[in-house]
Amino acid sequence: MNLNKLLLTTTTGLGLLLSQFAVADSDLQFGGGATATASLDFQITIPQFVYFQVGTAGNGNVDRVDWDLSAVQPGQGVPLAATGGTGDGADGVLSITLITNAATVTIASNTGGGNLDDGGGNTIPFTEITVADGGTITAPAFDGNTVIATGGVYNQTDNWTYNYSDSSNYAAGVYNGTSVYTAATP
């Protein structure tokens, strides 16, 4: 009986030992000059990301571009450069940064209605403001979008220049509006 118990215990122990070898890649070799080999797989997961900056980086504020037409006759149809503003927007030329590892990025503008307003019912359409990019990161039209093929690794900067078209006369007032720009990956 003791021999049966010993054989059963040995067989069970050997089975447990061999099952441990089977969990990972393993190789068991015997004899002189024996070589055992085992493989190990590696995997790195890099999530898709996009970083997009319009204007001054890291100040926590939204930059603003201003046009003060006090020194000109309005409605002359001559594009006017910015006369002030805040942050990077003070001269009408904003720094743009796009960093991503996605194959494409869609940059969109949303003005929430397409007009700047004076709070008293008077409006100026955003189409009175033009934006020209420097050729690296294409600026979308207001309330439009543009798709940028990035090739999967993209780290670019550009400058977007804003001008006021001054193509019509509008009621006196201070007109405000916001374009929310988004950069989205598929």
| Residue 39 DSSP SS3 | coil
Does the pLDDT value for residue 68 go beyond 50? Answer: yes
Its pTM stands at 0.78
pLDDT band at 38 (very low <50, low <70, confident <90, very high): very high
Does the pLDDT value for residue 37 go beyond 60? Answer: yes
The candidate with the shortest Cα–Cα distance to 150, out of 103, 182, 183, is 103
Structure tokens at 149: 């093929």
Does the pLDDT value for residue 12 go beyond 80? Answer: no
Domains, the chain, ordered by start: 62-184 (2.60.40)
Residue 77 amino acid letter:
G
